[in-house]
A = this chain, B = another copy of it.
Amino acid sequence: MQIEVLPSTGSPRTPYLEDRLVIVIDVLRATSTIVTALANGCQAIIPVLTPEEALEKRLTLPGSLLGGERDSLIIEGFDLGNSPFEYVPEKVGGRRVIMTTTNGTRAIRDSIAAPVIWMASFINMQSIILAILREFENSHRLKGIVVFCAGTEERFDLPDTLCAGMLIDALGSNVKLNDLGEAARMLYHSSEDHLMDKIRESYHGKKLISLGREKDLVYCSTPNILPIVPVVKDGEIVWLTGD
């Protein structure tokens, strides 16, 4: 299986995605929050690029909530920020959330040429792995995987890369990797026993801690909490169900 890991969105050489499974990773915190929202009964997440676009979109979807962040903080006038702890059943159950985050939602939109787009984080890793194995066992429509590490402000992001490394590691040795994929696997191997420390010490980890969001960091760095694979379907992110 060929797996290409790309460091961020806005890559000048986005590979040909039309026969690829794209997996978007934004550990801190967009994909962790999306997984949590769906687990808590959110009907769908609608990713948009800007707060203005979110406000416009709501006009066509009355009853939906606005969620997301800029510079890690809730956007003025929005109902929800980007902390998974805000997306509780009482708030998001049975409702749509229109969401915009600095990196995560843009990575999702940049993947749009791919026939299958999923969202991964540590918290749903096991379900992602099982879904990948099922997908590639049953069908040959996909030629490989592209992992987008949504990153932090277009820089290399260690938490996302470690998460990509965990994913690659779980798929065994019969994988063909690009340099960043190989690096992700090596980084995961060298820190799998102290993943959370590495995430705490990362740029984005330190930033969240300085904002008093250490609880988010601990939650988002914990593997295999929720059995959810978010998938993009007709422009909305919903729970992947069996065929």
Contact = CB atoms under 8 A, between A and B. Distances in A.
* Copies of the protein in its oligomer: 2
A189 interface: yes
Contacts of A154: 11-13
Contacts of A203: 178-179
A94 interface: no
Contacts of A186: 186-187, 190-191
Contacts of A18: none
A155 interface: yes
A53 interface: no
Interface stretch (A39-47, A85-93, A117-125, A156-164): A156-164
A178 B206 CA distance: 11
Most chain B CB inside 10 Å of its own CB: which residue of A7, A154, A186:
A186
A225 interface: no
Given A13-B154, A156-B7, A190-B190, A183 B182 contact: no
A222 interface: no
Interface string A138-181: 00000000000000111111100100000000000000001110
A155 B182 contact: no
Contacts of A11: 154
29 contacts: A7-B156, A10-B12, A12-B154, A13-B154, A13-B155, A155-B178, A155-B179, A156-B156, A156-B179, A156-B180, A156-B183, A158-B182, A161-B179, A161-B183, A179-B202, A179-B203, A182-B198, A182-B201, A182-B202, A183-B183, A183-B187, A186-B186, A186-B187, A186-B190, A186-B191, A187-B187, A187-B190, A189-B190, A190-B190
